[in-house]
Amino acid sequence: MKMPRLEKIIGFLDEFSKKEDFFYKNQIHLRDLLVAKMKQKKDDKTIVFSIKMFNY
Protein backbone atom coordinates (compact mmCIF):
# COMPACT_ATOMS: atom_id res chain seq x y z
CA MET A 1 0.00 0.00 0.00
CA LYS A 2 1.22 3.48 -0.76
CA MET A 3 2.33 5.64 2.17
CA PRO A 4 0.12 8.64 1.30
CA ARG A 5 -2.92 6.34 1.36
CA LEU A 6 -1.93 5.06 4.78
CA GLU A 7 -1.56 8.59 6.08
CA LYS A 8 -5.00 9.55 4.74
CA ILE A 9 -6.68 6.48 6.21
CA ILE A 10 -5.46 7.21 9.76
CA GLY A 11 -7.92 10.10 10.08
CA PHE A 12 -10.66 7.89 8.71
CA LEU A 13 -10.02 5.18 11.27
CA ASP A 14 -10.61 7.60 14.14
CA GLU A 15 -14.12 8.33 12.86
CA PHE A 16 -14.79 4.72 11.83
CA SER A 17 -13.77 2.93 14.99
CA LYS A 18 -16.63 1.56 17.09
CA LYS A 19 -19.22 2.66 14.50
CA GLU A 20 -19.14 -0.44 12.32
CA ASP A 21 -22.85 -1.19 12.83
CA PHE A 22 -23.84 2.35 11.85
CA PHE A 23 -21.74 2.21 8.69
CA TYR A 24 -23.01 -1.27 7.81
CA LYS A 25 -26.56 0.07 7.86
CA ASN A 26 -25.61 3.41 6.23
CA GLN A 27 -23.03 2.57 3.60
CA ILE A 28 -23.55 5.86 1.75
CA HIS A 29 -22.17 7.62 4.85
CA LEU A 30 -19.22 5.24 4.85
CA ARG A 31 -18.56 5.97 1.18
CA ASP A 32 -18.86 9.72 1.71
CA LEU A 33 -16.46 9.63 4.66
CA LEU A 34 -13.93 7.64 2.61
CA VAL A 35 -14.31 10.04 -0.32
CA ALA A 36 -13.65 13.02 1.95
CA LYS A 37 -10.66 11.47 3.73
CA MET A 38 -9.07 9.93 0.63
CA LYS A 39 -9.82 12.97 -1.57
CA GLN A 40 -11.10 10.77 -4.38
CA LYS A 41 -14.25 10.52 -6.45
CA LYS A 42 -17.03 8.27 -5.19
CA ASP A 43 -16.70 5.99 -8.21
CA ASP A 44 -12.92 5.54 -8.02
CA LYS A 45 -11.80 1.92 -7.78
CA THR A 46 -10.25 2.34 -4.33
CA ILE A 47 -13.52 3.64 -2.85
CA VAL A 48 -15.72 1.04 -4.55
CA PHE A 49 -13.39 -1.79 -3.54
CA SER A 50 -13.25 -0.56 0.07
CA ILE A 51 -17.04 -0.61 0.37
CA LYS A 52 -17.19 -4.03 -1.26
CA MET A 53 -14.62 -5.45 1.17
CA PHE A 54 -16.40 -3.90 4.14
CA ASN A 55 -19.35 -6.18 3.37
CA TYR A 56 -17.31 -9.39 3.66
pLDDT category of residue 54 using cuts at 50, 70 and 90? very high
Sign of CA dihedral 13, 15, 21, 22: negative
**HSE-up (13 A, CA, CB side) for residue 49:** 4
**Tens of pLDDT along 4-32?**
778 878 878 888 888 999 999 999 999 99
Instruction: Identify the pLDDT of residue 18.
Output: 85
Q: Where are the domains of the chain?
A: 3-54
Instruction: Identify the pLDDT of residue 12.
Output: 81
- Mean pLDDT value of segment 26-48: 94
User: What torsion, rounded to 10 degrees, do the Cα atoms 5, 6, 8, 14 define?
Assistant: 150
pLDDT higher than threshold 90 for residue 1 = no
CB burial of residue 37 (10 Å; 0-12, 13-18, 19+) = middle
